[in-house]
Amino acid sequence: MLRQMRPTLVYAVLGILFMFVAPQVLQLFTIINLTTAIALAILALSLALIWGYGGILCFGQVAFFGLGAYVYTISAINFGGSTWAILLAILITAAFAAALGYFIFFGRVSDVYLGVITLTVTLIFFSLIRRTSGPEYKIGNALLGGFNGVSSPPINLPWDTRTFLFPEQVFYVAMAALILCYVFVGWLVNTKFGRVCVSIRENELRAELLGYDIRLYKLGIFTIGAGIAAIGGVMFCNGVGRITPDVFNLYNAALTIIWVIVGGRGTLIGPIGATFALFYLTSALGGQTVLNNNLVLGVILIIFVLLVPKGVAPTVVDWFGARRRKKPGRVRRRRRGNRTEGAQ
């Protein structure tokens, strides 16, 4: 297990170093943007688990991301603190995903219809919450705010609800959450549960004939991925300071898919790296009026689907593997050449 998790632990250590070094060398505005990017990376990690290792193409992963953010915000306003609000956001989102997944997987819904259903759920959230702008639409003391959204209370210390974290401290929490989720998912995919999920991804019929209940395993990984997405949603609304229905829109749903495709299915660090790269690419493109962001992202998606179908991380690993396999042959040819020269 430790040998299989060695790359995961190496990247986790690098993440810890970055967590402590970044606030010392970067400006506050950059740290705030990084917090947002980290939250989106957690979202990408959740889809990398569900799609890359479970074979479940969930077009509506942002539904769990946004639901976690809204549950956290509403709970924190009513509770007057963030500790129980974070736990409640994860539990309610996971419970919602489990209920939805039960009808999907135990109903033997095909992969195509699964994508359609999850995307439809996302758009339903988007449409419903946009229509809650009146004062009558509230849960406890929290107004939903409609298309304007609602301000999210910042994270406070667990033992002191009156002491809130500053943006630099929220960055530490978000980065720690990303590292912990990454290590957890890296451990999960190397357990028996993770290996069975991979076998189901490769061949459902064969896994079922071996005696595994593929519905239960799919439901499990689907629920876990939703809980991780909820953690990303909590970090996102803390980084931005509010949550709006736009988090459920079609653009964000498609963008999550692009992150995993570009980074590489079947990897964890690939989608995380692609999220950071595309986040800052779209931010840079937002400052100019020549190119449209959607057009650029569409071109990137087409290029990677046609030219780099495995994604960046698997392609790089394959390239280094091919170079390693070629080296022994070169050494043998050199030795043969030296023997020939010696004979001459």
Q: Residues 217, 222, 223, CA angle at the centre, nearest 5°?
A: 100
Distance CA 133, CA 141 (A): 14
In the prediction, which pLDDT does 2 show? Answer: 74
In the prediction, which pLDDT does 334 show? Answer: 54
In the prediction, which pLDDT does 158 show? Answer: 87
In the prediction, which pLDDT does 80 show? Answer: 87
Residue bearing tokens 């909820």? 230
- Number of other CB atoms surrounding residue 116 within 10 Å: 14
pLDDT per 10-residue tile (average), the chain, 344 residues: 84 94 91 94 96 91 95 93 93 96 91 90 93 88 89 90 89 96 95 94 91 94 96 94 92 91 91 92 76 80 85 85 70 51 39
CA–CA distances in Å: residue 279 to residues 126, 270, 297:
22, 14, 11
Question: Strand locations in 53-191, DSSP E?
Answer: 138-139, 142-143, 150-151, 156-157, 160-164
In the prediction, which pLDDT does 341 show? Answer: 41
CA 173 and chain centroid, separation:
16
Rg over CA atoms, the chain: 23
**Phi first, then psi: what are they for 157, rounded to 5°?**
-65, 140
In the prediction, which pLDDT does 339 show? Answer: 47
In the prediction, which pLDDT does 94 show? Answer: 96
Distance CA 5, CA 2 (A): 5
